[in-house]
């Protein structure tokens, strides 16, 4: 017990727990939208298919925030930037359930997206700067916290979904928790900094100082396809089940929560797994499982039992992909704030394009299109993974600078 208390007092651990709290709140806030989409559509007097604009403009905001984070975290105290962004994001979330027009709701989500982009890029970057080459299990722990929040949020919605107006209490409660987390982070000192370039170092050390942007951009493409599939399925599976009349609203909310539950369990299991297996091995098996789960639903779209099995299996298989992919990309390179923002740009754009596209296609072709789009994104992610491995191999094989 004394060792645990002593360990918790270490600055690196206190900072890490702060980042974990912020990603937990982000998971809560992200997953609350999916089960409340029909309710928010009724609140704004809009068709459900038009709610895809929330994902499009929200993720566009995330893209702007991610790009801005590349500059801010390299110049300002990271904890103040993180805390301020979290406070604003929390206040905006509280406004979502009270906004009467779709245009205003889209605007709120877009600005909140900018804050989410700053939070996502900041937590990932500062965690790497805190733990350096030992970041792998901590990175999996960070994204476990996101999954935990994403699991709990639909569960809360399921308790009140059939009570008129009660969903607003969920939004207000999550907003309050986010603001408290933001205040704590903004007042935390000791913001980590990027590793300084090793000037005058011999060949191998000097080569690490140069950021291999081929690896950075292929990693961004990898996250683009993965995050698109994750967000699209997590946010639209509720509507998919209800529109096909496979389940009533309350059960569909539990289906969403079940997806995030196994996602969370998978993230927890991936923490010790990351300490034993290489990231490339974890990703290969996980993506194969993802394609298998979604492929089965595309073949038999009318089975609720199969949808449940696929949702639970998909959550488990998706869990380690993001943190393992990010770790694979940054291992052995000097991660600058700019390089981190480029990698995470794939995350934000992926979360924008596919969820929005599902809304558009769902309106024109019906809910079954969601499964086909998610499956296509996962197949493309396998190709991007192969490209990332090739880019890393090429970066390692590059000749040393002259005179090394």
Other CB atoms closer than 10 Å to residue 298's CB: what's the count? 15
Of residues 102 and 1, more confidence is placed in 102
- Residue range 282-313, pLDDT digits in tens: 999 999 999 999 999 999 888 899 999 999 99
Residue 274, pLDDT score: 77
Q: Is the pLDDT of residue 200 over 50?
A: no
Q: How far, in whole angstroms, is CA 329 from its chain's centroid?
A: 16
Gap between the Cα atoms of 225 and 218, Å rounded? 11
DSSP output for 227-289:
HHHHHHHHHHHHHHHHHTTSS-HHHHHHHHHHHHHHHHHHHHHHHHHHHHS-HHHHHHHHHHH
Query: CB within 8 A of 226, min separation 6: which ones?
Result: 318, 321, 322, 325, 350, 377, 378, 381
Q: Is the pLDDT of residue 85 over 70?
A: yes
When mean pLDDT is compared across 9-13, 29-33, 188-192, 201-205, the lowest value belongs to 201-205
CB distance 283 to 321 below 8 Å:
yes
Residue 195, pLDDT score: 60
Residue 174, pLDDT score: 95
Angle at 348 between CA 347 and CA 352, to 5 degrees: 115
Gap between the Cα atoms of 141 and 136, Å rounded? 9
Q: Is the pLDDT of residue 104 over 90?
A: yes
Of residues 234 and 403, more confidence is placed in 234
Q: Where are the domains of the chain?
A: 10-191+204-397
Per-residue pLDDT, averaged over 136-146, amounts to 86
Q: Is the pLDDT of residue 22 over 90?
A: yes
Q: Which two tokens stand for residue 374?
A: 């998610």
pTM over cut 0.85: no
Could you tell me the maximum CA-CA distance found in the chain, to the nearest angstrom?
Answer: 72
Percent of the chain with pLDDT over 90: 38
Residue 28, pLDDT score: 92
Per-residue pLDDT, averaged over 111-117, amounts to 94
Per-residue pLDDT, averaged over 190-215, amounts to 60
Question: In 3D, which of 153, 151, 296, 315 has the Cα closest to residue 229?
Answer: 315
* Average pLDDT, rounded, for the chain: 85
Of residues 193 and 46, more confidence is placed in 46
Other CB atoms closer than 10 Å to residue 75's CB: what's the count? 9
DSSP 33: T
Residue 353, pLDDT score: 84
If 0-12 CB within 10 Å is exposed, 13-18 middle and 19+ buried, where does residue 284 land? Answer: middle
Residue 8, pLDDT score: 55
The answer to whether the Cα torsion of 374, 55, 34, 142 is positive or negative is: positive
Q: Quick one: residue 165, left, alpha or beta (phi over 0 = left, psi -120 to 50 = alpha)?
A: left
Q: Which of 75-89, 125-139, 361-375 shows the highest mean pLDDT?
A: 75-89
Ranges assigned E (strand) in 288-329: none
Of residues 393 and 180, more confidence is placed in 180
SS3 for 189? coil
Question: Is 1.20.1250.20 the CATH number for 10-191+204-397?
Answer: yes
DSSP output for 144-158:
HHHHHHHHHHHHHHH
Q: Is the pLDDT of residue 404 over 70?
A: no
DSSP output for 217-244:
HHHHHHHHHHHHHHHHHHHHHHHHHHHT
Q: Which residue has 């270490």 as its token pair?
A: 10
- Residue range 346-366, pLDDT digits in tens: 888 887 788 888 878 887 888
Query: CB within 8 A of 196, min separation 6: which ones?
Result: none
Residue 137, pLDDT score: 83
Query: CB within 8 A of 114, min separation 6: which ones?
Result: 61, 62, 64, 65, 68
Distances (CA, A) of 204 to 210, 211, 395, 401: 11, 13, 12, 9
């Amino acid at each position: 017990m004394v060792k645990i208390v002593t360990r918790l007092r270490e600055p690196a651990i206190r900072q890490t727990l702060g980042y974990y709290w912020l990603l937990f709140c982000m998971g809560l806030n992200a997953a609350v939208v999916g089960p409340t989409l029909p309710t928010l559509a009724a609140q704004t007097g809009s068709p459900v298919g038009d709610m895809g604009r929330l994902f499009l403009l929200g993720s566009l905001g995330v893209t702007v925030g991610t790009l801005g984070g590349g500059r801010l975290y390299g110049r300002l105290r990271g904890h103040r930037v993180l805390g301020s962004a979290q406070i604003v994001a929390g206040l905006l979330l509280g406004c979502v359930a009270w906004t009467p027009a779709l245009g205003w709701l889209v605007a709120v989500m877009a600005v909140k997206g900018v804050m989410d982009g700053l939070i996502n890029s900041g937590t990932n970057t500062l965690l790497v700067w805190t733990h350096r080459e030992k970041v792998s299990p901590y990175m999996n722990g960070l994204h476990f916290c996101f999954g935990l929040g994403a699991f709990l949020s639909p569960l809360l919605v399921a308790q009140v979904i059939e009570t008129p107006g009660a969903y607003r209490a969920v939004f207000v409660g999550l907003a309050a928790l986010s603001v408290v987390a933001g205040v704590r982070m903004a007042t935390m000192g000791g913001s980590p900094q990027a590793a300084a370039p090793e000037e005058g170092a011999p060949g191998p050390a000097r080569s690490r100082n140069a950021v291999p942007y081929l690896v950075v951009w292929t990693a961004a493409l990898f996250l683009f396809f993965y995050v698109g599939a994750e967000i699209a399925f997590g946010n639209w599976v509720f509507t998919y089940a209800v529109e096909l009349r496979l389940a009533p609203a309350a059960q569909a909310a539990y289906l969403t929560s079940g997806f995030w539950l196994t996602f969370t369990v998978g993230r927890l299991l991936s923490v010790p797994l990351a300490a034993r297996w290489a990231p490339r091995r974890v990703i290969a098996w996980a993506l194969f499982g993802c394609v298998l789960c979604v492929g089965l639903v595309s073949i038999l779209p009318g089975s609720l039992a199969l949808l449940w099995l696929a949702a639970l299996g998909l959550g488990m298989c998706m869990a380690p992909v993001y943190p393992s992919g990010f770790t694979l990309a940054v291992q052995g390179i000097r991660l600058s704030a700019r390089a981190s923002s480029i990698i995470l740009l794939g995350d934000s754009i992926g979360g924008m394009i596919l969820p929005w596209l599902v809304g558009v296609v769902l309106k024109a072709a019906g809910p079954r299109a969601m499964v086909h789009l998610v499956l296509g994104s996962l197949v493309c992610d396998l190709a991007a993974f192969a490209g990332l491995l090739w880019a890393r191999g090429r970066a390692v094989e590059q000749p040393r600078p002259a005179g090394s």
